[in-house]
Amino acid sequence: MTKLRFEGGVGSIGSSKVMVEDGGFRVLLDLGDAIPGERGLLMAPVVSRPGSELRDRLRVREAPAIEHLYRREAVGEVGPEGGGDGRTALFLSHCHIDHVGLIGWVADDVPIYGSAETVRMLDALEAAGEPLEGGPHHVQVLGEDQPIQVGPMTVVRHAVDHDVEGASGYSVHTTQGTVAYSGDLRLHGRHPELTERFARRVRGAAALVIEGTTLSGDPSAPMRDEPAVDRLFAEALAQTPGLVLMSLYPRDIERVRAFLQLARGAHRRILWPEPMARFLAAYGVVGVETYLPQRSPAEVSHDPAGFVIQIAMESLADILDLPLGPGSLFLHANGEPLGPFQPSWQLLQNWLRFLDVPFRSIGTSGHAAPDDLHHLVAEAAPATVYPLHTADPFRLLPPPGTVRILPRYGREYPLAPALGRGSEQDAGAGPK
Ligand SMILES: [Zn+2]
Ligand SMILES: [Zn+2]
């Protein structure tokens, strides 16, 4: 019997964890942490006790109590059994904290797979002094054309478009039919064809687990595409007489590269906080310059229109030395603070108001718009659809012939074979 279980991402944005079990073998899809600022009891300023981090997380249910997944010494005497069982493998959709945040705790004998870009990003974060909680990762590269066997299951990785390179969805072919998992995806990015191809490749799956981040928003609000973000950035650089500050999410490497090029075209240099510059250089981005110590406040003050300065909240006081005021501009392009749900959002607004710097939002979501989610589900035409990674799963409206199931935390869902929608499975009992 094939079973699905949801260990995270249920009724909340992020922290996805989906367990697929077949014949005593287990495929775990993602092992994310809650988004900073949204986490529950262990939220700043409270920190886990050194040496007891995973135990504390397990105790307050901020890590799932999955047997034979974590390193033995990290779980200790209480909690689930540590160490691998030779029957479990973990697959990562992409390198965002809500999908990979807990993988530093995974036992060395539990294999972990992800795209080459995901591995490169994890390596770059470690090299830049931003390691994962728990310890170094041991993720192996899984090619798209490289199906892998986990007991009776075959797992295939599919590239999708998201706001991080190497984002992937998966097909888990089980003895009872296929479970498809979207990871995070969108159709308004630079590679919509990848996301469309994913939907076609999983067509007729017995179950599709799909993210639904944007379902909570206004369904009629238009979604800006990435070329529009580039255009807004270029316009802002051209029209601002003074210094431009920005907050761009550094893991969105494609946008980093696009902005570097646009800034060069506008005769401005982007200066990065040192930790971000180390990460970008370690990932392989060329031409990355830092503000301090590479450039001095005097140098920037001499030619404010020649620079764009990326901020980091922890070193925000550095901007006190810069020539800022009404002739300058702050551009928010999906960097930290990510949004009003983070306490530092208001803090940033207070700083900008104090310094008289106008604020403009030019980013776009990494997640498919509601209409696009509905289009993708219709294309995939699964027997059942499970909306995950959303606060409002009931807003996902399935097409005729697809049964929507609102997942509940920790409950087991038997996989029902697809009912004649291109699946090779025999028609059987309907979804439970
Ligand atoms: Zn996510
Ligand atoms: Zn993501």
Q: Is residue 42 part of a domain?
A: yes
Identify whether 130 is part of a domain: yes
| Residue 428, in any domain of the structure | no
Between the CA of 169 and the centroid of ligand 1 the distance, in Å, is 12
Count of domains in the chain? 2
Whole-number Å distance, alpha carbon 135 to ligand 1 midpoint, is 22
Phi and psi angles of residue 90, each rounded to the nearest 5 degrees, phi first: -110, 135
Question: How close is the Cα of 183 to the center of ligand 2, in Å?
Answer: 8
Distance 9 CA to ligand 1 centre (A): 9
**H or E, element range at 253:** helix 253-265
Question: Do 39 and 57 belong together in one domain?
Answer: yes
Instruction: Give the CATH number for residue 395.
Output: 3.60.15.10
Task: Spell out which residues have Cβ within 5 A of ligand 2, the ion.
Answer: 96, 184
User: Same structural domain for residues 32 and 145?
Assistant: yes
Long-range contacts of 311-317 (CB under 8 A, 24+ apart): 311/245, 311/246, 311/247, 311/273, 311/335, 312/273, 312/275, 312/276, 312/336, 313/337, 313/344, 313/347, 313/348, 315/273, 316/348, 316/351
Q: Give yes or no: residues 162 and 96 share one domain.
A: yes
Domain boundary among 325, 346, 361: 361
Predicted pLDDT at 203:
98
Residues found in the chain = 432
What is the three-class DSSP state of 259? Answer: helix
| CA 263 to centroid of ligand 2, rounded, Å | 26
pLDDT at 38: 55
How many Å lie between the centroid of ligand 1 and the Cα of residue 36? 12
Indicate if 130 and 231 belong to the same structural domain: no
In a domain, 426, yes or no: no
pLDDT of residue 52: 92
User: How remote is the CA of residue 163 from the centroid of ligand 2, in Å?
Assistant: 7
| Structural domain includes residue 351 | yes
This model's pTM is above 0.85 = yes
pLDDT at 35: 64
Stretches where the chain sits below pLDDT 70 are 35-39, 417-432
Residue 430: per-residue pLDDT? 36
Shared domain check, 210 and 249: no
CA 95 – ligand 1 centroid, Å: 9
In terms of residue numbers, what domain contains 306?
226-361
Q: What is the pLDDT of residue 60?
A: 87
Neighbours of ion ligand 1 (CB under 5 A): 14, 98, 184
Q: How far is the CA of 320 from the centre of ligand 1 (A)?
A: 34
Are residues 163 and 188 both part of a single domain?
A: yes
What pLDDT is stored for residue 417 in this prediction? Answer: 63
143 & 230 share domain: no
Ligand closest to Cα of 164 equals 2
**What CATH number did the domain enclosing 277 receive?**
3.40.50.10710
pLDDT at 40: 77
Q: Are 100 and 167 in contact (CB under 8 A)?
A: no
191 lies in the same domain as 242:
no
**Do the domain assignments include residue 420?**
no
Q: Are residues 144 and 242 in the same domain?
A: no
- Both tokens of 388, joined, read 């995950």
The predicted structure's pLDDT at residue 106:
98
What is the CA(367)–ligand 1 centre distance, in A? 9
Beta strands at 25-29 and 17-22: parallel, antiparallel or unpaired: antiparallel
CA-to-CA distance for 245 and 288, rounded, in angstroms? 16
Three-class SS state of 344? helix
Closest ligand to Cα 165: 2
- Looking at residue 158, what is its pLDDT? 98
- Claim to verify: residue 335 and residue 391 sit in the same structural domain: no
Which-ligand-closest: CA of 163?
2
